[in-house]
Amino acid sequence: MNDKRYLILGGSGFIGRNICEFLRAKGHDVVGTSFSNSNSDWKLDLTSYIQIESLLKLGSFDYVIMAAAKTYGIDISAKTPEAMVRENIIMNVNTLDACLKAGIKKVLFISSSTVYQDLKYSEVLKEEQLDLNKDPYFLYQGVGWVKRYTEQLCKFYYSRGLKSVVVRPTNIYGKYDSYREGTSHFIPAIVKRALNKEDPFKVWGTGNVQKDYIHVDDFIRDSMDLFEIYNTPDPVNICSGRVYKVKEAVDIILQECKHDVRPHYDITKLDSPALRILSKIKFKSILGLRNYIPLEEGIHDVINWILEDIKDNE
């Protein structure tokens, strides 16, 4: 896809900003957008159909990456899951419809493993095991249904002539992810607290939840390689294939941050699904075996980025 022009929606966000850097490093012509114009090329309100339609008409883009989303931490997801719904649905519908009308060659939609129903037993989740007759895990009701619906929209617009690729990532972490209270994901939130030398060091849940963490560099490499050769909206899981208990991840973070404290796990607080492991069979059948950044190395990368970001904003 050399000499092609990319539009990255959400280009100032965690995933979008990393995608912009990845594609530019490969010499591609890239335009990133954001609501605020911070760390991006264009200010764009995706809830306005006129704005996205106008940009696509003017930009002569070949490919569009749907990395824009309103996201929040686990507390907001539980208390007000509707906060994830309205604007995200509108943005996704506007984007797909405008891309079809503009003749965009292909779209990448970044879905999520939150689409999967809650399983009461240990099972590696294959893409075809998604059961739309069962709800997502209760903490993921808002975001899970939005991602499910948008996946279905990708299939519909594909039937109308818009090529798309859908990826379902597991827990992504890395530089540019928010570490601020209310919007942070698990790893940057714990890293920031460890850097602040919090004591007592409290962690929500039992600590026994098992997660597959994938570094953002690995996620983007896998997603963009898939985007280059894959041409259908049949979803593909993207994960590292390595599973850690939350306790193990916390111990790694504390060690890397040189914070000698014993974490306290608050079992009265909300917890993620006990086990959610994604199958890599489909991905391997398309792109083969790959190496992934170890969690220890990835955590070190997050620490360095957060320290640098804090310094730059002092």
pLDDT tens figures, 93-120: 999 999 999 999 999 999 999 999 987 6
pLDDT tens figures, 171-182: 999 999 988 876
Domain of 88, in residue numbers: 5-312
Angle ∠(115,185,308) on CA atoms, nearest 5: 145
Split into its structural domains, the chain has a count of 1
Say whether pLDDT at 184 is over 90. Answer: no
Q: Which 8-state DSSP code applies to residue 2?
A: T
Sort strands 243-245 and 210-215 into parallel, antiparallel or unpaired. Answer: antiparallel
Task: Name 210's bridge partners.
Answer: 245, 275
Q: Mean pLDDT over all residues of the chain?
A: 91
pTM of the model: 0.93
Q: How far apart are CA 95 and CA 88, in angstroms?
A: 11
- The residue with tokens 């039937």 is 159
Contacts 24+ apart (CB under 8 A), 261-266: 261/197, 261/198, 261/199, 261/200, 261/201, 262/201, 263/201, 263/202, 263/203, 263/207, 264/200, 264/201, 264/202, 264/203, 265/202, 265/203, 265/204, 265/205, 265/206, 265/207, 266/202, 266/203, 266/204, 266/205
Question: Residue 1: what pLDDT?
Answer: 47
pLDDT tens figures, 51-64: 999 999 988 999 99
Under the banding of pLDDT at 50, 70 and 90, the label for residue 141 is confident
User: Could you tell me the CATH number of the domain that includes residue 234?
Assistant: 3.40.50.720
